[in-house]
Structure 1
Amino acid sequence: MLRALDIRDMLIIDRLSLAFQPGLNVLTGETGAGKSILLDSLGFVLGWRGRAELVRAGATQGEVVAAFDLPAGHAAHDVLAEAGIEVEDELILRRVNYADGRKTAWVNDRRVSGEVLRALSETLVELHGQHDDRGLLNPRGHRALLDAFAGLDLGPTRDAWSALGQARRALAEAEAAFQAVKAEEDFLRHAVSELDKLNPEPGEEAVLDARRRAMQASEKIRADVSRAHAEISEQGAEAVLLDALRRLEGAGDRAGGALEAPIAALGRALAELADAQAGVESCLSALDFDPSELEVLEERLFAIRALARKHGVLPDDLGTLAHELRARLEALDGGERNLAQLRRAVVLAETGYSEAATALSAARKAAAKRLDSAMAAELAPLRMERAVFTTEFETSEPGPGGVDAVTFTVATNPGAPAGPLNRIASGGELSRFLLALKVCLTGDTPGVTMIFDEIDRGVGGATADAVGRRLKALAGQAQVLVVTHSPQVAALGAHHWRVEKRVQDGMTTTTVIPLEPGDRVEEIGRMLSGDTVSDAARAAARSLLDA
């Protein structure tokens, strides 16, 4: 509920503080007194886009503060939680407009963006009037209004639509991948066959290269290695050392131990010589090769290198490449089976969505009949018993909200063609249609302050009285603010303010005065008779107030 509105230096408002009450609040005043400025100021603090220049002439900044009572469970709590703002039972919005055009806003002293204000405003206030194309007159919102009226759960349809979208995306991605692989099938089969035939192993290229180099160098070093082997073998150094060892051992007994160390050293030298012989023999063995073996080795080495260049990879990565290409080929071979499974999944998802959307459509059409009946009951007291309100359905593009396009239409006279609300009804008729529709839909927006801007324009007499009584009934469920020129509507208000324009010291300002019972008689008398309030007008005003 809007509890208070404080305005400073906005347009022609100097200082203004209003304390609103539950129930039906009415604002009256002469045309041009500034009633629209109040709505502009309220819209400003709620983040609505409106006039560009709002700061009062001569002021450096204008400010609007709005205080709302916020009960537990109110939808505004979700918006506040998302913005990281903790609020208990009082919500205070403050917004400043500087003379240079800058705007700054706060929620309970926490600075926020205009987007946060607008998100909050959708949960706090509804504005209804003949020119309000954001609300009930906007056909794009009629389906949501019908769903709210019926209390429908759109979850199953949204889930089914999401599942269908996922199934279709999976199929599309698989088909694209399959076609891409299919286009290179010949290349893949040839490449995999070539790689499988060669079957290169990691590190093989380096081993083959080292072996090739060794083979090429073996002929150059073999002669020297063979000569060295002969010089240290039994015909060379080994024989000389053995002869020397035998001579020293034979003379050792007569040398009195003097030859023991030389004999031991020769033994060690012969052991080292044996190791050298073994190493040289091993080298000679390695240097032995068949020339045809070199030819085979070079052929495989060059094949590995050529294949690596062909595919733009390192020789050691050919095995990984073969695995990747083989996997793509297997995907191609299994692609048809996979596509068939995905197509079946899409059909199942389409069936699930169709069933959910059909059930939702049936529930909507049942709710539409209830809404049409409720509207007929509401239009009769508003002197529009001959008008027909109909909820029309057309098939729309499928989506998360189903396949229904919903439009509220009216026929103002029997036999007349039905059409959209804002095209068929006259100004006065449109006001009453909007009021009746809002009365029928009030259950969907608990805790919202409803503002009706001259919704009684173009009606009078008994019809205006009927409009006022419907507004009063509506105010029994929610706070209602009405800007009105109708004395019948004003008389039914629980709380009454008069908007006045004053000129003082050459400056024009707007003020709002709460009216006591006696003041209300004068104001309603003015609305009945004009500037000069007669006794008859006062009597008529009292009659309206007492009714």
Structure 2
Amino acid sequence: MLVRLTIRDFVLVRELELGLASGFGVLTGETGAGKSILLDALDLLLGGRASAEVIRQGAERAEVTLECTLPPAAEARAWLEAHGIEVEGDTLLLRRNIERSGRSRAWIEAVPVPATALREFGAWIADIHGQHAHHALLESAVQRRMLDRLGGAEALAEDVRQRFAAWESARERLARARERQESLGEERERLLWQLQEWERLALRPGEWDEVQQEHRRLAHAAQLLQQVAQAAALLSEEEPSAQALLGQAERALAGSLEFDAKLAEAVQLVSEARIGVQEAAASLRRYLDAFELDPARLAELERRLAAIDEFARRYRVPPEELFALAERWRERLAALEESADLERLEVEVRAAESAYFESARALSERRRETAEWLSAEVSAAMQELAMKGGRFEAALIAGEPAATGLERVEFRVAANPSQTLAPLARVASGGELSRIGLAIQVIASRASDTPTLIFDEVDVGIGGAVAEIVGRSLWQLGRDRQVLAVTHLPQVAAWADWQLRVWKEEEGGAVHTRVEALDAAARVEEIARMLGGLEITDTTREHARELLGRRGMGQVELPHSG
């Protein structure tokens, strides 16, 4: 339920704090006084589009804040928890700012959220029925979406849409496979031949590096042997060799130890160096003894390197990337074989078709049940709205399978017993459309669990006894939820539990929108104004009292409004 609305520098509102109550409330005032401004502010808080044009002239930013009770829907509380929004108590705050630059910022409690999040969460707070909703009902797509929403079939309709898309995708893959079967076959043969060549090459992982290293060793064998032999001679065979010189140094230092023990470390290091040189010389000698000059092996390595290099150059990749190239060939071949598998693709098409029809038939059944219920409810409501004998039908017209299901929805109406049912867009006059549209919206609202319903001049085009019936319907709707209606009809306003009056006043050369909560006496004056225009007489006041007294209503105390 909406508890308090605060508006600052929004259109003609400089600063306004508006308390709201439960039950049925109305917003009244002269045409152009700014009643729609309040609903625009609410729409903004519920995720509507923001524009710098709403900022009051001379101000830098507009700000709207809404205090409301926590929505009863468990999904709303789960949504808050999922978005890391903690709420203390039973109320929470929604706030939105619009900067002169056009930038918009929003918060739920103190947590910044995008406008899309406000729109998601706002659906659990309030439902606004705009004054142009009646005309939107003439569109088939709007009629279909309303029927699905009333029947709780929105998730099922989305499932049908997704399954139809999957079915279409499967059909497209099959069609492409059939069209490209010949060219795909040629590419498949080429890939098979390339992979056969790759298998014949029989390259092992790491072989390219191994062959290169061995080839370098054999190709430079003479230079390698000469350098190793020279190193071995310098270490142990030449006179004086490194080994001999280190032995002399070790003996010389060992003789000095008896005079200075500090030389022990140096003696140890020289001894270790001599031993290391001796081991290195032995290792080099073993290397020379084991080295074999093998021209045949060198020729074999050269042929292998040439084969690998030629294969890599043919496919324009470095030899190091040949394994990755072969893997890409295998993946492409697998994809071609999969796409060329017409039998498997045909099975997929049949499976997708079956899944679509299973879901679409379930949606059709849900729509049929909802259409029967809605037809009966709206037809009954028409009898009360001065359309005796009138009938309404939510017709389901079979069509070709589509993303929206197996049928299209068409609202049909007969305004009186002598008429036959015909599409709403073709037969309803302006006044009839208003009454039928209002009946549909009220019935739709009864089926909703949204705690607050807002009607923006949806009673346009009606009057007299019909207007009183509309007022009673909205009052009845307000018995189990909060209802707020913008109206110009005194018969509707008289049924309200509470009433707010909107007017404009000039201050300092600027025009501002004001709102006040009306007590019982002020309500008589306001409804008398609505009845009699500019000149309010005792007769119109008496008529106003009569309207207000028809259901013996009391005046609901509103929270403080400023």
TM-score by length of structure 2 reads 0.71
Which amino acid letter does the alignment assign opposite residue 29 of structure 1? G
Q: C-alpha deviations, 1:307-352, integer Å up to 9, x for none? A: 44333456687788778767876887x6589542342133122112
Q: Aligned pair 1:140/2:144, yes or no? A: no
Q: Aligned pair 1:6/2:9, yes or no? A: no
Q: C-alpha deviations, 1:49-71, integer Å up to 9, x for none? A: 37743344444544332211124
Which amino acid letter does the alignment assign opposite residue 151 of structure 1? G
What's the RMSD between the two structures over aligned residues?
Answer: 4.4
Q: C-alpha deviations, 1:349-398, integer Å up to 9, x for none? A: 21122122123213212321221111101111111234432324353663
1:407 CA drift (Å)? 3.8
Aligned residue in 1 for 2:159: 158
Q: Write the distance in 1 (CA, Å) between the matches of 2:157 and 2:102.
A: 47
Count of matched residue positions in the alignment of Structure 1 and Structure 2 = 482
Aligned residue in 2 for 1:77: 77
- Shift of the 206–419 alpha-carbon distance from structure 1 to 2, 3 Å rule, reads same
Q: C-alpha deviations, 1:440-464, integer Å up to 9, x for none? A: 2224431332222222222221111
Most deviating of 462-471 and 81-90: 81-90
1:532 CA drift (Å)? 2.6
Paired residues of 2:160 and 2:359 also in contact (CA < 8 A): no
Paired residues of 1:79 and 1:119 also in contact (CA < 8 A): no
Map 1:106-505 → 2, pairs under 5 A: 106-132=107-133, 139-152=140-153, 154-155=155-156, 158=159, 161-162=162-163, 165=166, 168=169, 172=173, 175=177, 182-196=185-199, 199=202, 202=207, 303=307, 305-312=309-316, 338-394=341-397, 395=399, 398-399=402-403, 402-413=405-416, 414-415=418-419, 418-421=422-425, 424-504=427-507
Paired residues of 2:502 and 2:515 also in contact (CA < 8 A): yes
Most deviating of 90-99 and 44-53: 44-53
- Shift of the 428–453 alpha-carbon distance from structure 1 to 2, 3 Å rule, reads farther
Q: C-alpha deviations, 1:232-267, integer Å up to 9, x for none? A: xxxxxxxxxxxxxxxxxxxxxxxxxxxxxxxxxxxx
Which amino acid letter does the alignment assign opposite residue 68 of structure 2? F
Paired residues of 2:93 and 2:109 also in contact (CA < 8 A): yes
1:496 CA drift (Å)? 1.6
Q: Write the distance in 2 (CA, Å) between the matches of 1:320 and 1:42.
A: 60
* Equivalent position SS for 2:124: helix
Most deviating of 424-433 and 477-486: 424-433
Paired residues of 1:396 and 1:405 also in contact (CA < 8 A): no
Aligned residue in 2 for 1:49: 49
Aligned residue in 2 for 1:224: none
Aligned residue in 2 for 1:66: 66
* Equivalent position SS for 1:498: strand
Which amino acid letter does the alignment assign opposite residue 539 of structure 2? A
Which amino acid letter does the alignment assign opposite residue 310 of structure 1? R
Q: Write the distance in 2 (CA, Å) between the matches of 1:320 and 1:452.
A: 66
Q: C-alpha deviations, 1:167-224, integer Å up to 9, x for none? A: 9469939949977752234434544555555656646965996799699x9xxx9xxx
Aligned residue in 2 for 1:239: none
Which amino acid letter does the alignment assign opposite residue 68 of structure 1? C
Q: C-alpha deviations, 1:63-122, integer Å up to 9, x for none? A: 332211124426543554454322352122223345565544332233333333333333
Which amino acid letter does the alignment assign opposite residue 443 of structure 2? C
Which amino acid letter does the alignment assign opposite residue 117 of structure 1? L
- Shift of the 143–448 alpha-carbon distance from structure 1 to 2, 3 Å rule, reads farther
Paired residues of 2:163 and 2:352 also in contact (CA < 8 A): no
- Shift of the 517–403 alpha-carbon distance from structure 1 to 2, 3 Å rule, reads same
1:503 CA drift (Å)? 3.7
Q: Write the distance in 1 (CA, Å) between the matches of 2:11 and 2:465.
A: 37
Paired residues of 2:143 and 2:411 also in contact (CA < 8 A): yes
- Shift of the 491–195 alpha-carbon distance from structure 1 to 2, 3 Å rule, reads closer
Paired residues of 2:434 and 2:460 also in contact (CA < 8 A): yes
Q: Write the distance in 2 (CA, Å) between the matches of 1:529 and 1:348.
A: 69
Q: Write the distance in 1 (CA, Å) between the matches of 2:148 and 2:444.
A: 10
Which amino acid letter does the alignment assign opposite residue 357 of structure 2? S
* Equivalent position SS for 1:66: strand
- Shift of the 6–135 alpha-carbon distance from structure 1 to 2, 3 Å rule, reads farther
Aligned residue in 2 for 1:21: 21
Q: Write the distance in 2 (CA, Å) between the matches of 1:403 and 1:28.
A: 45
1:39 CA drift (Å)? 2.3
Which amino acid letter does the alignment assign opposite residue 153 of structure 2? L
Aligned residue in 1 for 2:557: none
- Shift of the 532–208 alpha-carbon distance from structure 1 to 2, 3 Å rule, reads closer
- Mind listing any 5+ residue stretches in structure 2 that lack a counterpart? 227-284, 551-562
TM-score by length of structure 1 reads 0.73
* Equivalent position SS for 1:123: coil
Q: Write the distance in 1 (CA, Å) between the matches of 2:317 and 2:33.
A: 84
Paired residues of 1:65 and 1:95 also in contact (CA < 8 A): yes
1:35 CA drift (Å)? 1.8
Most deviating of 370-379 and 385-394: 385-394
- Shift of the 424–66 alpha-carbon distance from structure 1 to 2, 3 Å rule, reads farther
